[in-house]
Amino acid sequence: MAGRIHLVTGGAGFIGSHIVELLLSRGGRVRVFDNFSTGRRENLAGLAGPLEVIEGDVRDRAAIVRAAAGCAFLLHQAALPSVVRSVEDPVACHEVNVGGTLNALLAARDAGAERFVFASSSSVYGDAPVLPKEEGMRPMPRSPYAASKIAGEHYCAAFSAVFGLCCVSLRYFNVFGPRQDPSSPYAAVIPKFIAGSLGGGGIVIDGDGEQSRDFTFVRNVAAANLLACEAPLRGGEVLNIACGESTTINELLRLVQEVLGVSVPARRGAPRAGDVRHSVADIRRAGEVLGYAPSVGLREGLRLTAGAHRS
């Protein structure tokens, strides 16, 4: 890993910055490409090591081609996140998540990169009733965001087959941890629960709260990305990255407040458009292919996340 350049698109974002931090801690050379629309410069502040930051947009093919020059690995985290946002603006979702991914793949191909790691999403499974979600299941996207991630996976498979670029798609399940912004209108549930429990404007549970998710601490995801750079792969693999455990939203709130040592009542809101009812991952294939195993569970992850919010 030392000496070879890792380009992390969206590297100033929540997940991307944790990947950057882990790469640097292991002696990697890192280049970040980010337009700072959702990423923040402070996410990279204080990180030690050979780090280069380039401001640019994945929709600008020439810019990302320049950024990728000389890179051995391209870890593509840049995206417009959020199911809700994609329903509100499907065109922007497509332009960034599909067009931007194609530009990143072309940049990696032209740079002669060894590996392309794509940040996909558990949302691709939709509301298929079978649990746990296994990679061989037929995708059933229920939102433009999910459809954009399926398109990215298919582009990765095509570039592996046609151009010999070794690509792997990692389907993230409900990632949480420090640096996740609770103030965004599209914020994920855990930072909203923490902020609301600490006096940040109340707590809202969408629907009845019995929907369930596989909450995955961000360090597990960062570690999976590094494994995906180094593991022997054929190219075109799709792998679930999660903890393999199901937690309802109601139970999650109880755990958050237990960690915080508070008790704040929640009010009920309407179910979210495009949301799925239940999601939990089968992570056996990631273990077999990458040697992946989650090192931080939900309770410990919540403790670490709450500590970051309080500091």
What are the angstrom distances between the C-alpha of 280 and each of 47, 84, 149, 245?
Answer: 33, 20, 18, 6
Catalytic residue among 125, 145, 172, 292: 145
**What is the rounded distance in angstroms from the CA atom of residue 133 to the CA atom of residue 140?**
12
What are the angstrom distances between the C-alpha of 264 and each of 9, 11, 141, 177, 242?
Answer: 38, 35, 34, 21, 28
Residue-wise burial string across 71-101, b where 16 or more C-beta atoms lie within 10 A, e elsewhere:
bbbbbbbbbbbbbebbbeeeeebbbbbbebb
**What is the rounded distance in angstroms from the CA atom of residue 125 to the CA atom of residue 133?**
7
Does 145 participate in catalysis according to the annotation?
Answer: yes
Spatial contact of 267 and 208, defined as CB atoms under 8 Å apart: no
Query: Which distant-in-sequence residues (6+ apart) come within 8 Å of 74 by Cβ?
Result: 6, 7, 9, 68, 104, 107, 108, 111, 113, 115, 116, 117
Structure tokens at 112: 């002669």
Taking the CB of residue 67, how many other CB atoms lie within 10 A of it?
25
SS3 (DSSP) at 269: strand
SS3 (DSSP) at 140: coil
**What is the rounded distance in angstroms from the CA atom of residue 47 to the CA atom of residue 41?**
11
**What is the rounded distance in angstroms from the CA atom of residue 214 to the CA atom of residue 158?**
29
**What is the rounded distance in angstroms from the CA atom of residue 105 to the CA atom of residue 148?**
15
What residues are annotated to the active site? 145
